[in-house]
Structure 1
């Protein structure tokens, strides 16, 4: 799709001439506000900010004093390549000093509805990344941000383009909302399963296998890309999609292979209790115990049961604590979970959840590419 833009009436502007930075402050300790937004609350693929923290949750730093109101745009100046910016649609709160609270200046030619797309465009992100200072935590300073130049359409054309781009964003949010409803439905089914009286020990449901690490001293084991080597850091979500390290076939033979559809459970430290289904046969280190021998539907169901808050609590109730938290294989085998003889309803709920998630992610990726193409046509490609 091409917008067929006539840019003859567009005007070259500096960002600092068409936006204002609000420096209003509030003291959360005085009860002035009850919400804060940190970088972790802002999704890099979203133009709206819907998540926040409670100022009394103990996680907010001392620099969270800059006040924002509904409709203002927040831009996280640290690591701009993460694309942490968006509109706080319907709530107020505070942000830290490295997050800029921004307003467009319509009398200088920029609409508030159009500004989020200026900051989300690849052209601006490339500039911000190149101009950020600092090696450990690069930051786009306010002065440098103001110097960014781009071609700005007249107000009526900005409105037309903003309407189109916001329609895409609303569609993306509606897809996500539909997927979330399937998660809510699955959560109800899982809760009812956990409330049932009859439970079975994991050791009865499948065989438990603890991983082992091939000797690092043997280069023949590691100088290869043949077999995935899984660690707890890769357990993030329902499935382990990839491994950062791989070993040779010889290295895998001295380890303990876990087949596809195994349920990997992290059994040590801060990752204890995290679980995911293995999608590619491989080996793991000794910090993971895998439940093997399950068909695909049962593996996905068991992972969902263990990821449920009741499942995490059941795992943690069996842990031992010395220097670090640990869940031994023998104790994992004793963890009791709901496992009815007829699991068809549970299978259907988890399958529907997975299909909705995969579909939503694929559509979101397609929309992101489409929006990127449109913004590149409007603002130019990456610098």
Structure 2
């Protein structure tokens, strides 16, 4: 299916000669229905954090009994309405509600004017580069920029005739279905991975030993010295360089003389890098080749010295056991953190039968590789979807 869509996108020859320049306000209707929260049967609400960037689907929500909501949460939305985050519009928060609920007055609730547009097409117009650029350009404020409805309503784009809209909508939603199927595969793989990690490392097992990490590994064993050659160049790995769990982005190459004072931890081959600040596990990576990489002092750099597969140890930091350990030991309010000593004292699981280490490592690595593969496919599919949207609009 994905290949078919890719071919369709490549062959897409759009004749826009009969398309009509249209104002967004002519095809979209802002809904301003208000709710008395003390007298409503509605139970679910949507905050900005419940809407993902460039994701048309609502994947989480809150319940009115969960927490105190400020007075801004008065806007009613219905199943099928489009929700648009009017603040920090560069985040591209456009989502279709699949239930009735409540949101804040800073989230626009939008219905399609079905007399003029196929409603399935409207959310993709809002995902286009042109729509986003217009919102960013016309936003007010600097700290928390916002867009007014009148500025969105004035945005102009080319709208295809009604007889073409349905076909284009079908193609765009077919691409979305591909991404959703891939997301389902990812969800299942991650569930299998984390279940196996917890089964292995979070439960008591009489055939396993629990050993302090510093007994089998060196933590932050090597640091850059103050007399390091000022022209020494390295790649700097701070927490911002870890773009998602287990994935390092492009690292900036800098000279020691220009490096921040936090650039201290020397990374070696097969180093495990742990973030010492919350959220734990979001910035954990394994570095196969550590040559000329220096990590921030906000990390713990771990090198396994015992005859144990270091990847086997790495997987253990994604267990609920390690998360609970961190939560029990973290200190600080603004930036809760653990210390290198806490990392040293953490007890890792090691089977008494050493052959099990390789066996379990292979299982975990295979799952991990499958997760990375499907994430790559999702990324490619999203790029194709974006290309298709921008070809049309």
**Cα distance between partner residues in 2 of 1:246 and 1:120:** 34
In the alignment, which residue of structure 2 is the partner of 1:369?
383
Give the secondary structure class of the aligned counterpart of 2:350. Answer: coil
Give the secondary structure class of the aligned counterpart of 2:317. Answer: helix
In the alignment, which residue of structure 2 is the partner of 1:204?
215
Relative to its length, the structure with more helix (as a share) is 1
1:366 CA drift (Å): 2.2
1:99 CA drift (Å): 1.0
Give the secondary structure class of the aligned counterpart of 2:18. Answer: coil
1:246 CA drift (Å): 5.0
Deviations 1:67-91 (A, max 9, x none): 2122111111112221110212x32
8 A contact 1:15–1:148 mirrored in 2: yes
Pair 1:343-2:357 in alignment = yes
**Cα distance between partner residues in 1 of 2:338 and 2:56:** 41
Q: After the TM superposition, which of the residue ranges 56-65 and 133-142 deviates more from structure 2?
A: 56-65
Query: Structure 1: which 5+ residue stretches go unaligned?
Result: none
8 A contact 1:266–1:287 mirrored in 2: yes
8 A contact 2:234–2:256 mirrored in 1: yes
In the alignment, which residue of structure 2 is the partner of 1:12?
21
CA separation of 1:290 and 1:49: change in aligned 2, threshold 3 A: same
**Cα distance between partner residues in 2 of 1:166 and 1:106:** 18
**Cα distance between partner residues in 2 of 1:283 and 1:323:** 26
1:245 CA drift (Å): 5.9
Across the aligned residues of Structure 1 and Structure 2, the Cα RMSD in angstroms comes to 3.3
1:220 CA drift (Å): 7.3
CA separation of 1:284 and 1:34: change in aligned 2, threshold 3 A: same
Count of aligned positions: 370
In the alignment, which residue of structure 2 is the partner of 1:101?
109
Give the secondary structure class of the aligned counterpart of 2:342. Answer: helix
Deviations 1:333-361 (A, max 9, x none): 22113232313453234323332332223
Pair 1:181-2:188 in alignment = yes
1:372 CA drift (Å): 2.7
**Cα distance between partner residues in 1 of 2:324 and 2:273:** 17
CA separation of 1:29 and 1:328: change in aligned 2, threshold 3 A: same
CA separation of 1:164 and 1:333: change in aligned 2, threshold 3 A: same
Give the secondary structure class of the aligned counterpart of 1:144. Answer: helix
1:92 CA drift (Å): 2.6
1:54 aligns with one of 47, 58, 63: 63
8 A contact 2:197–2:318 mirrored in 1: no
2:326 aligns with one of 315, 325, 347: 315
1:168 aligns with one of 175, 184, 201: 175
CA separation of 1:323 and 1:48: change in aligned 2, threshold 3 A: closer
8 A contact 2:245–2:281 mirrored in 1: no
**Cα distance between partner residues in 2 of 1:211 and 1:273:** 23
- 1:1-383 to structure 2, matched below 5 A, reads 1-30=10-39, 32-58=41-67, 60-88=69-97, 90-107=98-115, 109-193=116-200, 194-197=202-205, 198=208, 199-209=210-220, 221=230, 226-234=233-241, 237-239=244-246, 241-242=248-249, 247-248=254-255, 255-267=264-276, 270=278, 276-279=284-287, 281=290, 282-293=293-304, 298-319=309-330, 327-340=338-351, 341=354, 342-379=356-393
CA separation of 1:302 and 1:9: change in aligned 2, threshold 3 A: same
**Cα distance between partner residues in 1 of 2:331 and 2:22:** 62
Give the secondary structure class of the aligned counterpart of 1:106. Answer: coil
Deviations 1:107-127 (A, max 9, x none): 2x1121111111011121122
**Cα distance between partner residues in 1 of 2:331 and 2:89:** 42
Give the secondary structure class of the aligned counterpart of 1:112. Answer: coil
1:170 CA drift (Å): 0.5
Deviations 1:39-62 (A, max 9, x none): 222222322222223333337444
Give the secondary structure class of the aligned counterpart of 2:110. Answer: strand
Give the secondary structure class of the aligned counterpart of 2:53. Answer: coil
CA separation of 1:298 and 1:277: change in aligned 2, threshold 3 A: farther
8 A contact 2:275–2:284 mirrored in 1: no
1:243 CA drift (Å): 7.3
